[in-house]
Structure 1
Amino acid sequence: MKALGRHVLIEFYGCPSEVIEDHALIEKHMRGAAAYSGATIVESVFHHFNPYGVSGAVIIAESHLTIHTWPEYGFASVDVYTCGDSVNPWKAADYLSEKLQAKKTESSEVPRGMVDKIRQFAEQEIEEVRVKPKEELEGVK
């Protein structure tokens, strides 16, 4: 299956509330995850909600990482969306699992921009695209 991008959806359970409530720490960890995955950080924006919770995005040259936390439930939801082969979204997921001290992590990957479908509607030819599957990237840490 050829796709332009990879969208990894991660749910982190059992995170210490003091970790996922800390606005500055969440931004630091999200930027760290982007860097660890091989992404090029463009900018980031984070917001602390009252009474609790943090939402934020790290914009990368290869797409983005986003997070929303529910400290009152010890839960955080993260999206890592990457394009091309230079970034390993699973490295970002592993990094965040450790930094958020999650007791349980569930994740799935959704291919984005299916090339065969895009070709049906594109006004110009799309060059050959190959995104490495998770199995090929697992050895890269």
Structure 2
Amino acid sequence: MSIIARHITVDMYKCKTTCFDDMHALQNTIKTMLQESDLEILSSSSQMMTDEHIAIVLLFNEGHITVHAFPDLQYVSADAFLCEEDAAPEQVFSSIKKLFKPEKTKTTILKRGDFGTSTDMKPKTKTKVAPLRRIHNTGSKVINMLKNKDDNKN
């Protein structure tokens, strides 16, 4: 055994606002998604926290998932801890990402309980920007470039 678990953290920015309307519906939707991934849920809990964010915790035989949803910020922070060496927590989050439809995500994958078999202890981090956002940003850059070119001619 080289590791005992895989841990993924996901930050989702500019999420679809309708996801935050009903805390219990959100919890049930996430539960259903996990059950479709063949994860047997032992317990689940949701709570509206004092700073008006939703906290959801799901415990299952293979590990846990936590989701913190901040409706005012359109931001969701989530993590999954799967107690299997060959687990694929990123597959579990693919359906959760589809639910929130973020414009940008930042994902960090950690190998937990690495007892020295790996030479690289740095977490792997991926950032993904939704295509529409990229188009908008590129369009803005082109417009600014053309504007600067016209200003330089005068």
In the other structure, the counterpart of 1:5 is 5
1:88 CA displacement: 2.8
Q: Where in structure 1 are there 5+ consecutive unaligned residues?
A: 118-141
Q: Greater RCO between the two (CA within 8 Å, min separation 6)?
A: 1
Task: Give 3-state SS (helix, strand or coil) of 1:52's partner.
Answer: coil
- Where do 4+ consecutive residues of structure 1 move more than 6 Å? none
Q: Is the 8 A contact 1:29 1:96 kept in 2?
A: no
What TM-score comes out, normalization by structure 2 length? 0.67
In the other structure, the counterpart of 2:101 is 101
Q: Is the 8 A contact 1:43 1:58 kept in 2?
A: yes
What percentage of residue pairs aligned between the two structures are identical? 19
What TM-score comes out, normalization by structure 1 length? 0.72
Q: Using the TM superposition, name which of 35-44 and 85-94 deviates more.
A: 85-94
Instruction: Kindly indicate whether residue 89 of structure 2 is the aligned counterpart of residue 89 of structure 1.
Output: yes
More helix by percentage: 2
Task: Give 3-state SS (helix, strand or coil) of 1:25's partner.
Answer: helix
Task: Provide the alpha-carbon RMSD of the alignment.
Answer: 2.3
Distance 1:25 1:87, change over 3 A: farther
Report the Cα distance in structure 2 between the residues aligned to 1:25 and 1:91, rounded to whole angstroms: 22
1:50 CA displacement: 5.3
Report the Cα distance in structure 1 between the residues aligned to 2:19 and 2:62, rounded to whole angstroms: 27
Higher alpha-carbon Rg: 2
In the other structure, the counterpart of 1:75 is 75
In the TM superposition, what whole-angstrom CA distance separates every residue of 1:5-47 from its partner, at most 9, and x where no partner exists?
Answer: 0000001111123313420132123213422433221110110
Q: Where in structure 2 are there 5+ consecutive unaligned residues?
A: 118-154
1:76 CA displacement: 0.3
Equivalent pairs, count: 117
Counterpart residue type for residue 74 of structure 1? Q
Matches within 5 A, 1:60-71: 60-71=60-71
